[in-house]
Structure 1
C-alpha cells in the first residue's frame, strides 16, 4: 500500500529528540481504521521448465513490457528479479481485491506471452540466490547482510510474501486502538506464519521448516529484522528501535556508498561521522529495517509467505482484514491469542519460541492450530460485515476446512507432492 511518509525538500541535520518526534509522527499516524492494502510478491519462472533459471535479459524485456500496462497497483522489481504489486490504499476489502486481481490478470497475460509465469511460494525451492538488480542500494545491502551469513542474499533474491497493510488505529484505547493493534499484530502474526507457511524446500530438499522464508528472516539479525520489545508504548518503542538499529549504509552522490559495521543511527547522530545524518538519511534508514510488523504511517504485516494459485493471496488478506478492522472480531482475536503470549518468553518477534515453532512446525503445533481455527471462524463471521463477496467467503471457508482444521498449511501440500503422496488435503494441484 503506497504512502507518502518519506522524503524532504531540503536535507537538514537532526538531533535524537528530533528523530523521536519524526518517528512518532511519520511511522504511527493514528486514526480510525479506514484503509486497507496489500503487497503481493511473486517469483517469476519459466512457464514450461520452472526449474531452469530465467535469463536476465528475458526478465528485463518482460518487465519493460509490463511497465507499459495501465495498472492501478505500483509494479516494482526486487533484487533477485521477484515481481511485486503494491495496491493503492483501498476503502474496503473488496475494492482492494478487485484492483489487485485485475492488475494480476493483466500481468499474467503479458508474462505468458513471453513464456513466463508468476509463482506463489515463500522461498524459491530450486534456485540459488542471484542478483538481478545492480544498484547502489542493493550493492550496499548485500555487503551489509553478507556479514551475518548467506541468509541475507536468500532474503533479497529468493523470497516472496503477501504483505497486508492496515491503518495504525485510534489514538484512544480499545479494540481498534493503535496500542492494541500493535500488540495483536505481533502475536497473531505467529498464527499467520503457521497457517500460511508455504516454503518447506531449499535446494530441492525439505529444509526442516514449513516456512523456510521465515527461518531466513530470523538469521539476518534482530537489529535489522527483529521487532522492538512490546512492554512500552509502540511509538516510543519503535523510535528507540530506529535509533539503536544498525545503519546499513551512508549514501554519497559522488563516491561509493559507505557500509559501516556496528554503527547505530544514534551513534551516527552523536558522532556526525563520516558526515552528519539528515532527515533524508533517517527516511532511508527506516526503509532498511525489516521487522515482521513495520510501521510506515500504516502497519505493514510482513510475515505471510507468498501463496499458491492465482488467488491464494486473497485468503490471508481477507482473514487479516477481518481480524483487525471488525471490532467484534478484533476483540475475539485478542482474547484468543493472549494464551500464546507466554510462549514468547518476553522476547521480541520473530526471535522467540512462539514464532520459531510457527515457522518450523506450522499448524502441527496443537495450540497454534486451536487458536487458528478460532481466528479463522471469527474472520468468517466478520467478513459479511466487511462486504466480502460469496466467492471470498467461500475461499476462506475452503481454506479453513482443507488446511486449518486438519492442522495443515500449503507447505504440507508441497511436501506431499515431493514425496509422491496426496496427504489429507484435497483441492487444486499444489504445485508452485
Structure 2
C-alpha cells in the first residue's frame, strides 16, 4: 500500500466525531427494495477432496474472474450475472451478487453465476463444497496478504478457532436494506431474533477434518470463539432496542484493532488497543475515516450494518438450496405485520446462538420456534415474487430440514 492510500480520508479528532461517522454510513434508510447474497464455498479436488488446492491451480481455473488478491494483474471480470468472485484466505471461493430489486431476478442471475463458476472449476478438476466447514482438510493458508497475516497473528493470541474460521469455514450472507426510518429498529431486531432458529435449521457444518465435531454448525462455533468483542451480537433481548446506529458505533469503537494499515507488509495491531484508544492517542498518528472504514470491515457480528443489513449467521447450503433461507429472511422482514409476528415468536430464543450452533434442531426450544417462524415465512413467500416452482422447492427444503430435526430429537 502506498503512503497516499494511508493518508486518505478525513482525520478523526474525537470519539464523538467517530461515532457520528459510523452512524451516518452504516444505517442508510429508505424503502427496502434491494436484496443481495454472498455465497461462499470450500474448494476441493474432484477426485481427491483431501488434496490441497494451490493458488496457481485456482488462479488458472478462475481465469479472467480471478480476484486481484490471487492474481494482481487479472481484470477481475464479473460473472455473466454480474456477480464478482473473491477468494478467502483458505482458498474458499465466494460470489458477491449485485443487489437486485426482486428475488426472482436475484435467483435467476445468481443461479447463472453459480453454473458458470462450477463449469470453470469442473474444467480444472475442482468442485465446490456443500457444507459450512471443510469436512476433509485441516486449516491451511492459500491466500496470503498483510491483512490476513495480521488477522492470524491477532487470532492466534486467543487460540486455534481463528485459523479454523479463516481457512476452513464457508457461509451464506444475506444482504437486505435497513428500511425506512420508522422500520429500521424493527428490521434490526427481527434480523437478530430469527437468527438462532434459522441457524439451527440450516446448519450444515458437522464434520471437519474427516471427523464429527459434536456441533451442528462448527463454522458458527469457530466464529463465536475467536473474539467476542468483534463477533458477539450487537443486539440481544436483554437490551432495549434503542438506537441501532448508536449501539453499533459503541460496539465498533470498543472492539480491538485487528490490523493497522501501514506502508509495507506488517499490519500487525498492538494487542488490546481498541479504535477508541486510537482516537485518544494510543498510536503515533491519528486515525482517519478511511481507517475507521477498514476497522468496520474487521468486525464480524451475526448481523452487521453496512448501509444495509448483512446477515452473517448461515452456513453454506447444498447445491441449489441457498434460495430457501434467503427467501425466508426476506419474507420475514418484509412487512410490519410479519415482522411483529416473527419477533413475538422468536424473541424467547433470540440469545441462543451457542445452543443453535451446538445442537441445531436437537434443542427443543429452538425446534419449536423454528417450526413456528418458518411456517410464518412460508406463508409470506407468495409476496416475494418468486415463481411457484421455486416456492414449492423452498417448502420441500424446509420440510426436509424440520423432519431431519424431529428424527434427531427422537
How does the TM-score come out when normalised to structure 1? Answer: 0.86
Q: Which residue of 2 aligns with 1:3?
A: none
> What pairs up with 1:25-64 in 2 under 5 angstroms?
25-64=24-63
Residue 167 (structure 1) aligned with residue 177 (structure 2)? yes
Q: Which residue of 2 aligns with 1:401?
A: 399
Q: Which residue of 2 aligns with 1:141?
A: 151
> What pairs up with 1:262-411 in 2 under 5 angstroms?
262-309=272-319, 311-341=320-350, 344=351, 354-407=352-405
SS class of match (1:142): helix
Measure the CA separation in 1 of the matches of 2:208 and 2:392: 32
Deviation of 1:406 after TM superposition, in Å, equals 4.6
Deviation of 1:284 after TM superposition, in Å, equals 0.3
Give yes or no for contact 1:369–1:405 (8 Å, CA) kept in 2. Answer: no
Give yes or no for contact 1:121–1:199 (8 Å, CA) kept in 2. Answer: yes
SS class of match (1:302): strand
Give yes or no for contact 1:246–1:262 (8 Å, CA) kept in 2. Answer: yes
SS class of match (1:199): coil
Deviation of 1:170 after TM superposition, in Å, equals 2.1
Measure the CA separation in 2 of the matches of 1:397 and 1:265: 45
Give yes or no for contact 1:42–1:82 (8 Å, CA) kept in 2. Answer: yes
Structure 1 alignment gaps of length 5 or more: 1-6, 345-353, 413-422, 425-432
SS class of match (1:139): helix
Q: Which residue of 2 aligns with 1:256?
A: 266
Q: Which residue of 2 aligns with 1:14?
A: 13
Residue 225 (structure 1) aligned with residue 231 (structure 2)? yes
Measure the CA separation in 2 of the matches of 1:64 and 1:337: 45
Give yes or no for contact 1:171–1:178 (8 Å, CA) kept in 2. Answer: yes
Deviation of 1:167 after TM superposition, in Å, equals 0.8
Deviation of 1:71 after TM superposition, in Å, equals 4.5
Change (3 A) 1:45 1:406: closer
Deviation of 1:136 after TM superposition, in Å, equals 0.7
SS class of match (1:198): coil
Deviation of 1:46 after TM superposition, in Å, equals 1.0
SS class of match (1:300): strand
Residue 200 (structure 1) aligned with residue 212 (structure 2)? no
Give yes or no for contact 1:65–1:110 (8 Å, CA) kept in 2. Answer: no
Give yes or no for contact 1:33–1:169 (8 Å, CA) kept in 2. Answer: yes
Give yes or no for contact 2:153–2:268 (8 Å, CA) kept in 1. Answer: no
Measured against aligned partners, the alpha-carbon deviations of 1:351-379 in whole angstroms (never above 9, x if no partner) come to xxx11111111111222112112222222
SS class of match (1:17): helix
Q: Which residue of 2 aligns with 1:349?
A: none
Measure the CA separation in 2 of the matches of 1:244 and 1:357: 26
Give yes or no for contact 1:26–1:296 (8 Å, CA) kept in 2. Answer: yes
Change (3 A) 1:76 1:246: same
User: Equivalent of 2:188, from 171, 182, 191?
Assistant: 182
Measure the CA separation in 2 of the matches of 1:303 and 1:23: 22
Give yes or no for contact 1:326–1:386 (8 Å, CA) kept in 2. Answer: no
Change (3 A) 1:407 1:130: same
User: Equivalent of 1:213, from 194, 201, 219?
Assistant: 219
Deviation of 1:297 after TM superposition, in Å, equals 0.4
Measured against aligned partners, the alpha-carbon deviations of 1:270-309 in whole angstroms (never above 9, x if no partner) come to 0152321111100000000111110000110000000112
Structure 2 alignment gaps of length 5 or more: 1-5, 67-76
Measure the CA separation in 2 of the matches of 1:224 and 1:131: 22
User: Equivalent of 1:124, from 114, 128, 134?
Assistant: 134
Q: Which residue of 1 aligns with 2:71?
A: none
Deviation of 1:408 after TM superposition, in Å, equals 5.6
Query: Root-mean-square deviation (CA), in Å?
Result: 2.0
Give yes or no for contact 1:363–1:407 (8 Å, CA) kept in 2. Answer: yes
Number of matched pairs: 390
Give yes or no for contact 1:195–1:408 (8 Å, CA) kept in 2. Answer: no
Give yes or no for contact 2:189–2:235 (8 Å, CA) kept in 1. Answer: no
Q: Which residue of 2 aligns with 1:115?
A: 125
